[in-house]
Amino acid sequence: MAKILIVEDNERNRMLLRDILHHYGHEVLEAVNGREGLDMAREHLPELIFMDIQMPVMSGLTAGEALKSDARTRNIKTVALTAFAMKGDRERILASGFDEYMSKPLDTRRLPQLVEELIGGK
């Protein structure tokens, strides 16, 4: 299956994502802040990244923009994870370069469908 990076500072959210992705046979890498996530993405070149927007050290928006501006990582599919659910947030986040957006709490039934839509059977 696919190599997927989870960049999330909340341990419970990381564990939930990891468990679901493992259940579907994916290889999972984990980072706890945007800087670490950016470094891991450049080193491991995953097919997909789930990126929390609000994190210490470097925000998910900043890390996502850095990924999209780097020729080696710009084609990695990225999903923003956020508790922001205000009008216009989805559009603003997608406009910053993310491929998709999921609000928290995460819809665990939607997650496998979203992975399939973004990266297919990798």
Q: What is the mean pLDDT of residues 80-88?
A: 79
Alpha carbon distance 1, 117 (integer Å): 14
Q: What ranges do the domains of the chain cover?
A: 3-119
The string of pLDDT tens digits covering residues 13-62 is: 999 999 999 999 999 999 999 999 999 999 999 999 999 998 888 889 89
Predicted pLDDT at 122: 53
Helices (runs of H) and strands (runs of E) counted in the chain: 5, 5
Query: CATH assignment of 3-119?
Result: 3.40.50.2300
pLDDT band at 85 (very low <50, low <70, confident <90, very high): low
Write phi, then psi, for 82 (nearest 5 degrees): -155, 150
User: What pLDDT score does 89 carry?
Assistant: 79
Q: Model pTM?
A: 0.93
